[in-house]
């Protein structure tokens, strides 16, 4: 980790091969390899999402036990969380295109192999548990590779726009993957697994076509030659001390997020905000199911909110071009916080859906700006550790707030639980909007100068 030593001079833009920094706005599609990157990331994500929907249902069909189905999912999540931090270090020390190819190839082998075993009737609960463990390892060690790679594929000034396009893509996948997987399961329980293997073949093709990207050892534009967070190995030290230093390096992304005031403000507000949103969505769907007796209606309420995110993601690039980043982030926080109080108090089921729709409209643009700005603070050689730390924080906040929301709903009722979660969102919005640096974030083309003027610490 290093502290910024410049005062006023803006740092150079990305200078990886094939990207020319000039006054004309570069095209993500013509002057970068964002297109192949997007194909690789989208195909792999869709394949994993379809398989993730199907695996618990396959366990349920094989065993007839909801507990065993939940256990398999829990084991996969725990293995992924346990290997997330080492995975971030791996992504910073190895060629990310190679890791992306390995991620896709292992997806072909795991999904394809499990699908074929299932078609032959040889996939029992033990095999599904082994599959869950291997998928957890794959997710933890390699799952964030494409995100770590993104800043080395597109120029810094286009990073927020690329992230907004990714948000639109994610919204489409969230809307489409479960219904597609459900329809495929009518053709056979393991058909989604085989489809996931096909999607990972497409992901391999996309990853293979990526040529213009930052590689370990390249100058990353921040004065860092490839591993800005690397700590020198202790000459003559014991193996134990080397392991301690290795673990300290692996957790350096987490240390950086919580050490400095601006970064700490962003990560705490994001953890509270995003965790509360997910918890609110979950208990709202459970409440609607109780209220109407229909899981379909509950799913539709969630889908209405997802449509709001999709529309917001489609408009995000234009919003980012027209408004200052700080305004976008604060609007995204407050719109959802206010909307969540309405969701908690609204008695009508479809009214809840409408309020979720409105509340989620600005979230993709806000996430794109906050995520892009934070990524600019981090050298390309440290993006893996940043992503690992953010993922682990997000998983922890989601687990804690979801569990708390469920307990509060059982003990005090839906309205009280939903109001408590809305209150947490309001506190997160206050934390974010009270930070002067965050409020003053400009449009993306002025981010580097803003970072220098504010004296923010880089990683």
Instruction: Tell me the per-residue pLDDT of 59-95, one tens digit each, with 9 for 90 and over.
Output: 888 888 767 887 887 788 889 888 988 888 898 888 9
Residue 133 domain-assigned (yes or no): yes
The last residue of a domain, from among 213, 228, 244: 213
Task: Examine residue 58 and state whether it is found in any structural domain, yes or no.
Answer: yes
Look at residue 123 and tell me if it is in a domain. yes
pLDDT at 5 over 90: no
Give residue 98's pLDDT band: very low, low, confident or very high (50, 70, 90): very high
Q: To the nearest whole number, what is the mean pLDDT of the chain?
A: 82
* pLDDT, position 248: 77
Residue 416 or 222, more confident = 416
Same domain, 276 and 200: no
Q: Which residue has the higher pLDDT, 248 or 288?
A: 288
Is 2 in a helix, a strand, or coil?
A: strand
CB 212 within 8 A of CB 18: yes
181 and 45, same domain (yes or no) = yes
- Residue finishing a domain among 149, 182, 213: 213
The fraction of the chain above a pLDDT of 70, given in percent, is: 87
What Cα–Cα distance (Å) separates residue 20 from each residue in 14, 27, 32, 327, 372? Answer: 9, 10, 10, 30, 20
The domain that holds 39 is classified in CATH as 1.20.1250.20
Other Cβ atoms less than 10 A from the Cβ of 399: the count is 15
Are 259 and 207 in the same domain? no
What domain count does the chain have? 2
pLDDT band at 8 (very low <50, low <70, confident <90, very high): very low
Same domain, 187 and 262: no
Give me the sign of the Cα torsion angle 276, 361, 53, 61: positive
For the whole prediction, is pTM greater than 0.85? no
Whether residue 234 is contained in a domain is answered as no
How much is the average pLDDT of 107-121?
Answer: 93
Strand partners, 458: 2
- C-alpha pair distances (Å), 149 with each of 218, 260, 277: 13, 24, 27
What is the predicted pLDDT for the residue at 220?
62
Q: What pLDDT, in 10s, does the model give residues 392-451?
A: 888 888 888 888 888 888 888 889 999 999 999 999 999 999 999 999 999 988 888 998
In a domain, 454, yes or no: yes
Q: Is 242 among the domain residues?
A: no
Higher pLDDT, 333 or 240: 333
Check pLDDT > 70 for residue 388. Answer: yes
pLDDT at 239: 38
Domain boundary among 182, 213, 244: 213
Does 189 share its domain with 300?
Answer: no
Same structural domain, 388 and 325? yes
Mean local confidence (pLDDT), 122-126: 88
The confidence score (pLDDT) of residue 314 equals 83
Q: Is the pLDDT of residue 22 over 80?
A: no
- Domain range enclosing 50: 29-213
pLDDT tens digits for range 129-151: 999 999 999 999 998 898 889 88
Whether 425 is covered by a domain: the verdict is yes
Give yes or no: residues 208 and 324 share one domain: no
Q: Are residues 109 and 46 in the same domain?
A: yes
Structure confidence at residue 108 as a pLDDT band (50, 70, 90) = very high
The residue ranking higher by pLDDT, 172 or 9, is 172
Looking at the structure, tell me whether residues 183 and 280 fall in a common domain: no
Asked if 205 and 262 sit in the same domain, the reply is no
Check whether residue 420 and residue 289 sit in a common domain: yes
Q: Could you tell me the pLDDT band of residue 222, with boundaries at 50, 70 and 90? A: low
**What pLDDT does residue 11 have?**
34
- Inside any domain, residue 75: yes
Q: How far is CA 82 from CA 24, 287, 376, 388, 391, in A?
A: 44, 32, 27, 11, 11
Terminal alpha carbon distance of the chain: 5
40-56 pLDDT, tens digit each: 999 999 999 888 888 88
Q: Per residue in 361-372, pLDDT tens?
A: 999 899 889 888
pLDDT in tens, 223-253: 444 444 433 333 334 434 444 456 778 788 8
Q: How far apart are CA 403 and CA 122, in angstroms?
A: 36
- 209 and 320 both lie in a single domain: no
> Residues 6 or more apart from 62 whose CB is under 8 A from it?
123, 124, 125, 128
């Amino acid at each position: 980790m290093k502290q910024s030593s410049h005062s006023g001079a803006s740092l150079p833009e990305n200078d990886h091969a094939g990207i020319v920094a000039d006054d004309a706005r570069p095209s993500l599609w013509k002057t970068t390899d964002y297109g192949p990157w997007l194909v690789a990331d989208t195909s792999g994500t869709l394949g994993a999402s379809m398989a993730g929907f199907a695996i618990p249902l396959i366990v349920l069909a094989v065993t007839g036990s909801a507990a065993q189905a939940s256990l398999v999912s829990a084991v996969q999540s725990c293995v992924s969380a346990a290997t997330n931090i080492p995975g971030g270090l791996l992504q910073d020390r190895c060629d990310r295109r190679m890791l992306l190819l390995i991620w896709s190839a292992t997806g072909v082998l795991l999904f394809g192999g499990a699908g074929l075993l299932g078609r032959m009737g040889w996939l029992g609960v033990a095999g599904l548990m082994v599959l869950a463990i291997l998928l957890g390892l794959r997710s933890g060690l390699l799952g964030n590779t494409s995100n770590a790679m993104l800043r080395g594929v597109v120029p810094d000034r286009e990073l927020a726009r690329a992230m907004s396009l990714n948000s639109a893509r994610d919204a489409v996948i969230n809307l489409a993957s479960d219904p597609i997987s459900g329809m495929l399961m009518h053709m056979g329980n393991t058909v989604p697994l085989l489809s996931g293997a096909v999607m990972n073949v497409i992901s391999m093709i996309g990853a293979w076509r990526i040529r213009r990207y930052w590689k370990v050892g390249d100058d990353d534009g921040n004065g860092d030659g490839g591993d800005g967070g690397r700590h020198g190995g202790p000459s003559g030290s014991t193996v134990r001390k080397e392991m301690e230093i290795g673990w300290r390096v692996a957790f350096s992304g987490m240390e950086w997020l919580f050490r400095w005031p601006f970064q700490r403000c962003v990560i705490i507000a994001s953890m509270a905000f995003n965790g509360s949103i997910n918890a609110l969505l979950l208990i709202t769907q459970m409440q609607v199911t109780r209220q109407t007796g229909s899981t379909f209606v509950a799913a539709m309420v969630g889908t209405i909110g997802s449509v709001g995110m999709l529309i917001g993601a489609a408009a995000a690039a234009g919003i980012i071009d027209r408004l200052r980043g700080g305004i976008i982030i604060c609007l995204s926080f407050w719109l959802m916080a206010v909307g969540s109080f309405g969701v908690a108090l609204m008695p009508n089921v479809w009214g809840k859906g409408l309020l979720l729709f409105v509340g989620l409209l600005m979230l993709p643009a806000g996430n794109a700006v906050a995520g892009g700005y934070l990524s600019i603070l981090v050298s390309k050689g440290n993006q893996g550790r940043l992503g690992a730390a953010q993922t682990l924080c997000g998983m922890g906040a989601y687990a804690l707030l979801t569990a708390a929301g469920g307990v509060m709903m059982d003990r005090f009722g839906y309205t009280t639980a939903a109001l408590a979660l809305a209150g947490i969102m309001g506190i997160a919005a206050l934390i974010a909007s009270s930070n002067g640096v965050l409020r003053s974030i400009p449009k993306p083309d002025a981010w580097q100068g803003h970072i220098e003027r504010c004296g923010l610490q880089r990683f």
